[in-house]
Structure formats: C-alpha cells, structure tokens
Amino acid sequence: MSYCVNCGVELEKACKACPLCDTPVINPREKSMDNEIPAYPTNLSIPKSTNKPYLCFVLSLIILIPSLVLIILNTVFFGNPVLKYIIGGFVVAWVWFLFPLLWKKPIPAVTVFFDAFTLMAYFWFYRFCGDDTGWVYGIAFPTVICLWAIANLFLFWKRKPRSKSAISVAVLGAINVMTFVIEMTMSVFFLKKLQIVISLVMTACCVSLMIFFIVLEKSKRMKAWVQRKFFI
Ligand SMILES: [Zn+2]
C-alpha cells in the first residue's frame, strides 16, 4: 500500500502518477510495475453508431421474404382477394419506418410528405381494385390530408425549442382536431348529416388536460411537486 507524497491519497499498485494531483509515484522497493494491468482502462473506446442503411436492408428483407412467399402461395394455390391489401400495408410500413433509415439526416417535413403520400396511394389502390364504396374520397382522403396539414403545422411550430408542457398541449389540441375531422367525415358519409357527439366528449377530456399542463407550466411549485412525485 502506498500513498501520494504530495496529497496523501491512497494509490493503486500500478500507479505511475497520483490520479488526484499528478505527482509522480516513485517507490524504489517495489518491483518493476511495467507488466501490471492498470486498475482502470487507459483509453476509452466509443462504440460505433448503428449502420442505418444496413439495418434498413436487413429489416426490408424480413418484410420482403414473407411478402414474396404470400404472393407465390396466393397465385399458385388460393385466390385470396385480401392479400393485395396486406402487401400494400407492408409497402406503407416500409415507407413509414424503414425509408427514413436510408437518409443520413431525415428532413421531418419531407418524411411526413412521403408518409401522407404513400397512405393516400394505398387508399387510392383500394379504389383502383374496385373495393371502394366511396369511403376513400369520403373519409380516408380528408382524414389523411388533415393529419398531414396538422403534422406540418406542428413541425413549423416546433422549429423553436418548446417545453414539454407546451408540446403536450399542442399534441392534445391536434388529437382533438383530428377526432372532430374523423367524426365529421364519418357522420356525413354514413348518416348523410353532420353529427358531433364523441368529439365533444374528447374536447372535455383534452381541454382539462391542457389546463393541467398550462398550470404546470406557470406554477413552479406544482412543477417541482410533479417532478418529485413522478420522477421526471
Ligand atoms: Zn497526490
């Protein structure tokens, strides 16, 4: 056991200098310590970041293989009319979740545009296949367009850094607007008249939560209490 002559800190066996004050450690009685393993690593190795295009390739294969098997089985043995929609769903999932991996730095607005575009193309594919009873233009298209518009508004607003409470309020507002859009299009499509019930219930829930987040943003005491209570 040795101690630093300068600051008195206890030293590890292989130490050549004090870790605290950098005073050289010279102990003539101790044998050469060149071969000893130091108590801590001398250089820090940082793991390489994930190879995103490679990850995209592997996950694409995972999606592609079952799709191909399904297509072959379907054309050879069964004539399952639903299958083309499942495969269409795979294409949408690929554009939504795997396509951004191919980009070095995905631009959110462009990603959102592609997401909305593929979703609309998918619904249009339904129409093209002749399974449409009017809901593609009546419900699906207006919903996707509204969702896309809200996503763009959100991205534009989020260019400046926003607090967690502000983001929560914005997300709640967006959810509420979307329930209105969905209920309005569905009631007009199915009932042939405008009927709003569920959205109003949603508004009551969303507004009370929004008030909670606004109060949280304003009151420092409450913020501290929530952070203590929920470990955030
Ligand atoms: Zn020292």
Q: Is residue 143 part of a domain?
A: no
CA of 7 relative to ligand 1 center, distance in Å: 4
Buried b (16+ CB within 10 A) or exposed e, 115-136: bbebbbebbebbbeeeebeebb
Please say if the pLDDT value at position 46 is more than 70. Answer: no
Mean pLDDT across 61-77: 83
Phi, psi of 88 (to 5 degrees): -60, -40
Highest mean pLDDT out of 133-147, 175-189, 216-230: 175-189
pLDDT in tens, 75-129: 787 766 677 788 888 889 999 999 888 888 888 999 999 999 999 999 888 888 8
What per-residue confidence (pLDDT) applies to 47?
66
Asked if 107 and 161 touch (Cβ cutoff 8 Å), the reply is no
CA of 39 relative to ligand 1 center, distance in Å: 17
Asked if 141 and 168 touch (Cβ cutoff 8 Å), the reply is no
Cα–Cα distance, 111 to 57 (Å, whole number): 18
Q: Is residue 67 part of a domain?
A: no
Q: Is residue 180 part of a domain?
A: yes
pLDDT band at 155 (very low <50, low <70, confident <90, very high): very high
Mean pLDDT across 128-133: 75
Q: Is residue 166 part of a domain?
A: yes
Cα–Cα distance, 96 to 111 (Å, whole number): 8
* Mean pLDDT estimate for the chain: 86
Q: Which residues contact 6 (CB under 8 A, 6 or more apart)?
A: 18, 21, 23
CA of 15 relative to ligand 1 center, distance in Å: 11
Q: Which structural domain, as residue segments, surrounds residue 35?
A: 1-41
Buried b (16+ CB within 10 A) or exposed e, 59-84: ebeebeeebeebeeebeeeeeeeebb
Asked if 17 and 24 touch (Cβ cutoff 8 Å), the reply is yes
CA of 18 relative to ligand 1 center, distance in Å: 5
Q: Is residue 117 part of a domain?
A: no
What per-residue confidence (pLDDT) applies to 104?
83
How big is the CA angle at 59 (ends 58 and 62), to the nearest 5 degrees? 95
Q: Is residue 204 part of a domain?
A: yes
CA of 35 relative to ligand 1 center, distance in Å: 23
Cα–Cα distance, 216 to 212 (Å, whole number): 6
Q: Is residue 187 part of a domain?
A: yes
What per-residue confidence (pLDDT) applies to 16?
84
CA of 25 relative to ligand 1 center, distance in Å: 9
Please say if the pLDDT value at position 48 is more than 90. Answer: no
The pTM assigned to this predicted structure is 0.67
pLDDT > 70 in the chain, percent: 90
The tally of domains found in the chain comes to: 2
CA of 10 relative to ligand 1 center, distance in Å: 8
Q: Is residue 128 part of a domain?
A: no
CA of 207 relative to ligand 1 center, distance in Å: 61
Local structure of 24: helix, strand or coil: strand
Q: In sequence order, what are the beta bridge partners of 2?
A: 11
What per-residue confidence (pLDDT) applies to 129?
80
